[in-house]
Amino acid sequence: MATILIIGASRGIGLELARQYAAAGERLIATGRSDDSLQALRELGAQALRLDVADPASISGLAWQLDGEQIDIALYVAGITSHGNATQPPTQADFDAVMRTNVLGAMQALVQVAPLLAPGGRFGFVSSVMGRIATVPDSRAWLYRTSKAALNMAVASAQHDYPDAILVCLHPGWVQTDMGGGQAPVTPEASATGLRQVMAGLT
């Protein structure tokens, strides 16, 4: 039985990952922000931790909540999107919200969780193909694109300091979630299944 940590399991892909790992009989630790999300995670059999990745004070206590744990697979799934293109600058409020959740929260989580990984443990960060600089087709959602490019760099940089761990950024597909919308071609079930397969096969 592996110990799985999912950061951002309140809804969408994170919640579906929690369902699938729980159904597979793994030991599951999962984070949520609200009482309702924490109760839903407990009903899946998870050890539920209250955490808001956008609040630096909240996420700075993650290592304390995980004291003594040895994690086999960790996943940072928390993320928010933004709209608009490069014809208008983002507001400071939008910039702060997106970058705190998608980048700062991930960087804070990485430093706390990576030392808790079992030998050969894996830490996956849900990024996006929209963060790839080489294949940018337009400036749509440019703040979101920027945040995912920054996340990719943060994870690639950190790998050098944690040589015994496997750190990886993941593209989950365009998924039918609150973020992706109902027109997306990939179901949360299919996305979570694919992410689990990729994490399991990493060497």
Of 111, 121, 114, 113, the residue nearest 2 (C-alpha):
121
**pLDDT, mean over the chain:** 93
* CATH number of the structural domain spanning residue 157: 3.40.50.720
| Full residue range of the structural domain in which residue 193 is found | 3-201
- Total structural domains within the chain: 1
Between vectors from CA 169 to CA 63 and to CA 111, what angle results, nearest 5°?
20
- Residue 83 reports pLDDT greater than 60: yes
Report whether pLDDT(189) > 70: yes
- Which tens digit of pLDDT belongs to each residue from 139-160? 989 999 999 999 999 999 999 9
